[in-house]
Structure 1
Amino acid sequence: MRLPALLVAAVVALSALAGCSSDEPARPGVVTVGLQEPGTLLPADVDDQAGRFVTGALWTPLADYDPATGKLTPRAAAAITSTDRVTWTVTLRPGLKFHDGTPVTAQSYVDTWQAIAGENWEATPVLTKSLRAKQITAPDATTIRLVLDRPSSQVPAWLSAPGLVPMPASVLASHDWNGFARHPVGDGPFRLADDWAPGTGGTLVRVTPAEGKATEVDLRVGDPVEQYDAVRDGSLDLVTSVAGERHEAMHTDFADRHTTWPLPEAGYLVFPMADPRFADAAVRHAFALAVDRSALEAGPLAHQVDPAHALLPPADAPGERTGTCRPCSFDAAAAKSLLGQSAFTGPTTVYFDPGAGQWTRPLATGVATALGVAVTAAQRPNGRVTGPSTVDLNLASASPADLLSALASASGYSDAGFEQDLTAAESAATTAEAGQLYRVAENQLLRDLPVAPLWTGHGHAVWSPRLHDVTAAAFSGIDLAKLSV
């Protein structure tokens, strides 16, 4: 009599599976979204794609800034203006509110920025090293006034940084940052219904209903491969990342329902300028030409990046680069010849930070093969290193000034002409002029090559036929507020 019992169990199991299948009707206005676990939901400390995606739905930035055109699109701010590029005025839109019902005022921003400046968060350098305002005040509820220590054209880019969004007075008084990250209270188009559940996700509810738009978003943390298959099979509406093993299939499975966009992430090979073995620019160019970026992209980086074609990544670049980036090319013969003309002798080590070993080790092996010298890879020790290092940077703002300065600092590069170019770009009268001068500074770094560009990050998304108007931006990813259902 065991067979009928097994049959009954099988029928029950199949029935349960059917309840989770693609035949289950979608709830009107509800969108299901797959994502990876965010590192944090404290907006000023976010440095990953999933975190930017969720906080981008919970907050509205002061403005959106496009580094390619210099165009500023006001969001929470009605205007960001200056007559001398030293004193800047931010005028907020009236009636802004946090999800707890308290008003968003100019003082909310002033107090939040003071808190950020005092912490070691991802957005802290935007205030302390980039903006460097001598004074930030709130003359009235809708006006923020900033006085800088020098003229700067980059203020709109810095103030548009997603990490500089305001926090309510309750958390600014309690300093319970961990508690706030579990249930963040923003001022954006969606609010978080309950505490974020690590490993599971959370539910976003639209604050102001809009016809044809999602009223609720069910965020589900999970494996990207399984989530991709769930979208393909109809049991999930959208997945915000595509694993490398599904990258090629994406173009046929979702021919007109996939997109990619640049992320504010980039990888570099940083040379120790103080090391006599790398003092010769020919040595640095030889190492740059010995890196097969396409092999890294298709191999250990699993199609999550693009091979670099410039020093400045697309998410941070002031327009298209004119001319080619020779150090971005792979040319093993030229690399070996160039190194042979120098006094360089091996062996050497390429160092990496935790988490970057999976692509730095193949990089070192490829460079060794191309150059014909012994090159190994090792995790970066404490203290000074005696060889090149790989770094992957997450950009906190769309200003090229931040990245160019960071790259020079990372390598110990110092040049009066380069510093003059950065100063001239920052104080330029127009965004077009500033963009040209930042490209001049970029070209100098590519000539002297204290760092070699390797790759730039990009995001992927695929979605079901019931979704429309799927758009994405570098710093926020898929824009849930614009989704049509």
Structure 2
Amino acid sequence: MHVNKTSRRSRATGAVAVTAAATLALAACGGGDNGGAGNGEAAEGVEGGGTVSAYNCEPQFLVPANSTEVCGSWVLGSLFTGLTQTDFDTYEPTAGVAESWDTEDNVTWTFTLGEDWTFHDGEEITAQTFVDTYNWAVDPDNAQQSANFFDNFLGYQEVVDGDAEEMEGVRAVDDYTLEIELTEPFSPLPDMLTYTAFYPMPSVAYDDIEAFEQAPVGNGRYMMDGEWEHDQQISVNRYEDWAGENPGLPERIEWMIYADVDTAYLDVQAGNLDILDAAPPNRRTTVEADFGDNAQDFDTSAFTYLGFPLYQEEFQDADVRHALSMAIDRQLIIDNIFDGAQTPAENIIPPDLIAGNENTCEFCQYDPEAAAELYEEAGGPDELTVYFNSGAGHEDWVEAVANQWRDNLGIEDITFESLEFAQYLGLHDEQEITGPYRLGWTLSYPSAQYAMEPIYSTGASSNYADYSSEEFDDLISQANAETDPDTAAELYTDAEAILLEDMPVIPMWFTNYQVVHSDRIDGESLFMDQATFTRLEQVVVTEE
């Protein structure tokens, strides 16, 4: 998932799709044991696991390498299992189809596959399955939105340029040994392989990809029951021959597709729907009265920030950026506009992602007097244009920030530019942004590398600030090349410290999600992962 266009709570509009460049983070808290998919110790469930129904919006696509938005990716996560999965207790990669993996240099990786994996139609999964899938995903003729996730695979560029039919860096050594060779060291590869784009596809997919999309044949905990009923529902049943260690708990999952999230909220309240994974903002003040113990809060790492166009001279002095940040009372905005449903950001790496991360943002502390003095000394601009994408509920909080800048820094002339998201990113691409701008980030896979490198490394596609730091780039490269995970983590946090000092963006907040559920669901079994997906496969149904 990628540059965050809207909050997940407004996804019922069907407009949650983001760019095919990247996504920020969700570090979740909740009940149960979340290792792998998690089989939480909770209330006794119904015999067989029962059926759970959940709100969803209409997916854009249901082909793994073409899904870049939450609606489709949530469903695909139940239908498919990649080479690796995420252990949500540690946010480390754990066995999927690959039982183990090894590398000596973070360039050439060897994956040993389990021998019992099959697709739902019985087709065996071998190393060649992944070779075929990955090459199909990057073939320009197939126009898959997530093809660029393979850009560090050896031979990717040759395939894209039409100079080769297959990537040199993906090889089947034998039936159950897969070798992946990269163009440079990349320690988070096992994390990245948990992402939707890397799910394997069966041979039937290549015969008619459009037909396949209507009833995907996967290798995950659940298999399709019938076809995708557009704008109505998608139903899956537990795959009893799934080869992993933690099978799904519910026997059946029904994603009910709603055009209006308020209708879904009322249906949960009435017992007609089991789970709504994000209560709408207009209901925040009544959730407790409406649901009581049937509401669960999850602090996430879905990151909102205000960036600076550093190609504009007036924002090149870091003290100007520091002052603008220190003049914002984040908690006041969160309380007044979001009813407390955000957590002020003092980090760029989601705090729960790397244990022991002690970096905090000195210049994120509200100090209007110091901010005013610093702004004057640095010669900050006396007029600003603030940019944000329209139609996603950003108007009120952006205006509140502007009012605080007027009051605390004396900037009287503040105007706003609000555009549809495609036009908005177009201005960024052409470097036509002239003032602070709103964007967000959500992790496609749980890695400190992904929280930083795609946004802040020199020349990165999502580095809309045009930030460049040789020291930062060097630390990221060192961390990517480091074979010891603890040392890599230290290097990533050192890189974050540079960002918090240089402040190419103002960290604003990490989003809080409120999941509401019916009486049929044990709330202690609910858990939300780093990509803001409620893990339905571990939900305990207590009554039918």
User: TM-score band, normalised by the shorter chain?
Assistant: 0.7 to 0.9
Alpha-carbon spacing, 1:328–1:54, altered in 2? closer, same or farther (3 Å): farther
User: Any unmatched runs of 5+ in structure 2?
Assistant: 1-46, 157-166, 457-462
Shift of 1:458: 4.2
SS at match of 1:411: coil
Cα distance in structure 2, aligned partners of 1:231 and 1:121: 35
| Counterpart pick for 2:132 among 86, 111, 130 | 111
Q: What are the superposed Cα offsets for residues 365-392 of structure 1, whole Å, 9 maximum, x if unpaired?
A: 4433432212222134642222222212
Shift of 1:331: 3.1
Shift of 1:348: 1.8
**Does residue 467 in structure 1 map to residue 467 in structure 2?**
no
Cα distance in structure 2, aligned partners of 1:45 and 1:366: 41
Give the letter for the 2:498 counterpart: Q
| Counterpart pick for 2:318 among 262, 273, 281 | 281
Alpha-carbon spacing, 1:305–1:111, altered in 2? closer, same or farther (3 Å): farther
Q: Relative contact order (alpha carbons < 8 A, sep ≥ 6): 1 or 2 greater?
A: 2
User: Do 1:68 and 1:319's aligned partners in 2 also have CA atoms closer than 8 Å?
Assistant: no
Match of 2:23 in 1: none
| Counterpart pick for 1:293 among 322, 330, 355 | 330
Match of 2:434 in 1: 386
Q: What are the superposed Cα offsets for residues 173-222 of structure 1, whole Å, 9 maximum, x if unpaired?
A: 5454xx54433322111122233233222212112199994222222122
| Counterpart pick for 2:308 among 271, 278, 283 | 271
User: Do 1:53 and 1:476's aligned partners in 2 also have CA atoms closer than 8 Å?
Assistant: no
Cα distance in structure 1, aligned partners of 2:192 and 2:215: 26
SS at match of 1:477: coil
Alignment of 1:435-446 (within 5 A): 435-446=489-500
Shift of 1:433: 0.9
**Does residue 482 in structure 1 map to residue 538 in structure 2?**
yes
Alignment of 1:102-251 (within 5 A): 102-118=123-139, 121=144, 123-129=146-152, 135-176=169-210, 179-208=211-240, 213-222=249-258, 223-251=260-288
Cα distance in structure 2, aligned partners of 1:77 and 1:461: 33
Alignment of 1:399-478 (within 5 A): 399-408=447-456, 409-468=463-522, 469-475=525-531, 477-478=533-534
Give the letter for the 2:410 counterpart: G
Cα distance in structure 2, aligned partners of 1:290 and 1:73: 43
TM-score normalised by length of structure 2 = 0.75
Match of 1:74 in 2: 95
SS at match of 2:387: strand
Supply the RMSD in Å over aligned alpha carbons: 3.1
SS at match of 1:273: coil
Shift of 1:431: 1.0
Alpha-carbon spacing, 1:342–1:328, altered in 2? closer, same or farther (3 Å): same
Cα distance in structure 1, aligned partners of 2:355 and 2:123: 40
Cα distance in structure 2, aligned partners of 1:192 and 1:303: 39
Task: Answer with 239-248 or 294-303: which moved more.
Answer: 294-303
Alpha-carbon spacing, 1:75–1:149, altered in 2? closer, same or farther (3 Å): same
Cα distance in structure 2, aligned partners of 1:321 and 1:275: 32
**Does residue 92 in structure 1 map to residue 104 in structure 2?**
no
Alpha-carbon spacing, 1:172–1:305, altered in 2? closer, same or farther (3 Å): farther
Shift of 1:99: 2.5
Task: Answer with 208-217 or 79-88: which moved more.
Answer: 208-217
SS at match of 1:150: coil
Cα distance in structure 2, aligned partners of 1:354 and 1:169: 42
Match of 2:53 in 1: 32
| Counterpart pick for 1:375 among 409, 414, 431 | 414
Shift of 1:40: 3.2
Cα distance in structure 2, aligned partners of 1:371 and 1:68: 44
User: Do 2:279 and 2:514's aligned partners in 1 also have CA atoms closer than 8 Å?
Assistant: yes
Shift of 1:283: 0.5
Query: Percent of pairs identical after alignment?
Result: 28
Q: What are the superposed Cα offsets for residues 427-481 of structure 1, whole Å, 9 maximum, x if unpaired?
A: 2231111111101001001111112212223443222333233333223622222
Cα distance in structure 1, aligned partners of 2:90 and 2:247: 32
Shift of 1:264: 6.2
Alpha-carbon spacing, 1:124–1:457, altered in 2? closer, same or farther (3 Å): farther
Cα distance in structure 2, aligned partners of 1:33 and 1:188: 18
User: Do 1:34 and 1:221's aligned partners in 2 also have CA atoms closer than 8 Å?
Assistant: yes
Match of 2:358 in 1: 322
User: Do 1:261 and 1:473's aligned partners in 2 also have CA atoms closer than 8 Å?
Assistant: no
Task: Answer with 361-370 or 235-244: which moved more.
Answer: 361-370
Match of 1:337 in 2: 373
Alpha-carbon spacing, 1:399–1:387, altered in 2? closer, same or farther (3 Å): same
Alpha-carbon spacing, 1:325–1:259, altered in 2? closer, same or farther (3 Å): same
Alpha-carbon spacing, 1:397–1:294, altered in 2? closer, same or farther (3 Å): same
User: Do 1:41 and 1:182's aligned partners in 2 also have CA atoms closer than 8 Å?
Assistant: yes
User: Any unmatched runs of 5+ in structure 1?
Assistant: 1-25
Alpha-carbon spacing, 1:163–1:343, altered in 2? closer, same or farther (3 Å): same
Task: Answer with 360-369 or 437-446: which moved more.
Answer: 360-369
Q: How many residues align?
A: 457
Shift of 1:305: 4.1
Shift of 1:241: 1.9
